[in-house]
Structure 1
Protein backbone atom coordinates (compact mmCIF):
# COMPACT_ATOMS: atom_id res chain seq x y z
CA UNK A 1 0.00 0.00 0.00
CA UNK A 2 1.53 3.35 -1.02
CA UNK A 3 1.46 6.34 1.30
CA UNK A 4 -1.23 7.98 -0.87
CA UNK A 5 -3.54 5.06 -0.13
CA UNK A 6 -3.13 5.22 3.66
CA UNK A 7 -6.37 6.57 5.19
CA UNK A 8 -5.99 9.94 6.91
CA UNK A 9 -7.00 8.41 10.24
CA UNK A 10 -4.07 5.98 10.07
CA UNK A 11 -1.35 8.45 9.06
CA UNK A 12 1.48 9.41 11.39
CA UNK A 13 0.82 12.70 13.20
CA UNK A 14 4.19 14.12 12.11
CA UNK A 15 3.62 13.43 8.40
CA UNK A 16 3.75 16.61 6.35
CA UNK A 17 0.83 17.64 4.17
CA UNK A 18 1.04 20.15 1.34
CA UNK A 19 -1.27 23.16 1.25
CA UNK A 20 -3.39 21.42 -1.42
CA UNK A 21 -3.57 18.22 0.63
CA UNK A 22 -4.75 20.16 3.70
CA UNK A 23 -7.51 21.79 1.63
CA UNK A 24 -8.48 18.38 0.25
CA UNK A 25 -8.59 16.72 3.68
CA UNK A 26 -10.73 19.54 5.09
CA UNK A 27 -12.91 19.59 1.95
CA UNK A 28 -12.49 23.33 1.47
CA UNK A 29 -11.17 25.34 -1.44
CA UNK A 30 -7.57 26.56 -1.37
CA UNK A 31 -8.98 30.11 -1.26
CA UNK A 32 -10.88 29.29 1.93
CA UNK A 33 -7.70 27.89 3.45
CA UNK A 34 -5.81 31.06 2.44
CA UNK A 35 -8.54 33.20 4.05
CA UNK A 36 -8.42 31.16 7.25
CA UNK A 37 -4.64 31.55 7.34
CA UNK A 38 -4.94 35.31 6.88
CA UNK A 39 -7.49 35.44 9.72
CA UNK A 40 -5.44 33.07 11.95
CA UNK A 41 -8.43 30.75 12.27
CA UNK A 42 -7.40 27.69 10.24
CA UNK A 43 -5.02 24.84 10.93
CA UNK A 44 -1.41 25.68 11.66
CA UNK A 45 0.58 26.09 8.45
CA UNK A 46 4.29 26.81 8.24
CA UNK A 47 6.91 27.38 5.57
CA UNK A 48 9.14 24.52 4.51
CA UNK A 49 11.44 26.24 2.06
CA UNK A 50 9.02 28.07 -0.22
CA UNK A 51 6.07 25.78 0.41
CA UNK A 52 3.32 26.01 2.99
CA UNK A 53 2.81 22.75 4.82
CA UNK A 54 1.10 21.37 7.89
CA UNK A 55 1.28 18.13 9.78
CA UNK A 56 -1.40 15.47 10.01
CA UNK A 57 -1.46 16.10 13.76
CA UNK A 58 -2.08 19.83 13.34
CA UNK A 59 -4.94 19.19 10.92
CA UNK A 60 -6.44 16.64 13.30
CA UNK A 61 -6.17 19.14 16.17
CA UNK A 62 -7.93 21.81 14.08
CA UNK A 63 -10.72 19.37 13.19
CA UNK A 64 -11.14 18.37 16.85
CA UNK A 65 -11.26 22.04 17.96
CA UNK A 66 -13.92 22.80 15.34
CA UNK A 67 -16.00 19.81 16.43
CA UNK A 68 -15.80 20.84 20.10
CA UNK A 69 -16.64 24.48 19.30
CA UNK A 70 -19.71 23.44 17.32
CA UNK A 71 -20.95 21.29 20.22
CA UNK A 72 -20.83 24.29 22.55
CA UNK A 73 -23.12 26.21 20.20
CA UNK A 74 -25.83 23.56 20.21
Structure 2
Protein backbone atom coordinates (compact mmCIF):
# COMPACT_ATOMS: atom_id res chain seq x y z
CA UNK A 1 0.00 0.00 0.00
CA UNK A 2 1.42 3.35 -1.02
CA UNK A 3 1.51 6.09 1.57
CA UNK A 4 0.14 9.48 0.54
CA UNK A 5 2.84 12.09 0.90
CA UNK A 6 2.26 15.31 2.80
CA UNK A 7 2.03 17.49 -0.31
CA UNK A 8 -0.75 15.36 -1.82
CA UNK A 9 -2.72 15.44 1.42
CA UNK A 10 -2.42 19.23 1.64
CA UNK A 11 -3.60 19.58 -1.96
CA UNK A 12 -6.57 17.32 -1.24
CA UNK A 13 -7.54 19.31 1.85
CA UNK A 14 -7.28 22.57 -0.09
CA UNK A 15 -9.44 21.15 -2.88
CA UNK A 16 -12.14 20.06 -0.43
CA UNK A 17 -12.00 23.43 1.35
CA UNK A 18 -12.30 25.32 -1.93
CA UNK A 19 -15.30 23.18 -2.92
CA UNK A 20 -17.04 23.79 0.41
CA UNK A 21 -16.40 27.52 0.33
CA UNK A 22 -17.30 27.81 -3.34
CA UNK A 23 -20.41 25.65 -3.45
CA UNK A 24 -21.89 24.88 -0.07
CA UNK A 25 -21.63 28.34 1.44
CA UNK A 26 -23.17 29.94 -1.64
CA UNK A 27 -26.03 27.43 -1.50
CA UNK A 28 -26.56 28.17 2.20
CA UNK A 29 -26.64 31.91 1.50
CA UNK A 30 -29.19 31.42 -1.27
CA UNK A 31 -31.37 29.37 1.08
CA UNK A 32 -31.41 32.20 3.61
CA UNK A 33 -28.51 31.33 5.90
CA UNK A 34 -27.62 28.60 8.34
CA UNK A 35 -30.63 29.27 10.57
CA UNK A 36 -33.06 28.57 7.73
CA UNK A 37 -31.13 25.53 6.48
CA UNK A 38 -30.95 24.00 9.96
CA UNK A 39 -34.62 24.80 10.64
CA UNK A 40 -35.61 23.07 7.41
CA UNK A 41 -33.49 20.08 8.44
CA UNK A 42 -35.27 19.88 11.79
CA UNK A 43 -38.68 20.16 10.11
CA UNK A 44 -37.78 17.41 7.62
CA UNK A 45 -36.44 15.17 10.40
CA UNK A 46 -39.69 15.69 12.34
CA UNK A 47 -41.79 14.81 9.28
CA UNK A 48 -39.76 11.66 8.67
CA UNK A 49 -40.06 10.64 12.34
CA UNK A 50 -43.85 11.12 12.30
CA UNK A 51 -44.18 9.17 9.05
CA UNK A 52 -42.08 6.29 10.38
CA UNK A 53 -44.04 6.26 13.64
CA UNK A 54 -47.30 6.01 11.70
CA UNK A 55 -45.93 3.24 9.48
CA UNK A 56 -44.76 1.22 12.49
CA UNK A 57 -48.14 1.81 14.11
CA UNK A 58 -49.97 0.49 11.07
CA UNK A 59 -47.71 -2.57 10.93
CA UNK A 60 -48.26 -3.19 14.66
CA UNK A 61 -52.05 -2.91 14.26
CA UNK A 62 -52.00 -5.31 11.30
CA UNK A 63 -49.87 -7.80 13.25
CA UNK A 64 -52.19 -7.52 16.26
CA UNK A 65 -55.29 -8.09 14.13
CA UNK A 66 -53.66 -11.02 12.33
CA UNK A 67 -52.60 -12.69 15.59
CA UNK A 68 -55.97 -12.19 17.32
CA UNK A 69 -58.29 -13.23 14.49
CA UNK A 70 -60.56 -16.11 15.33
TM over 0.5: no
The structure in which a higher percent of residues are helix is 2
Greater Cα radius of gyration, structure 1 or 2: 2
The structure in which a higher percent of residues are strand is 1
**Which structure is higher in RCO with an 8 Å CA cutoff and minimum separation 6?**
1
Q: So what's the TM-score if we normalise by structure 1?
A: 0.29
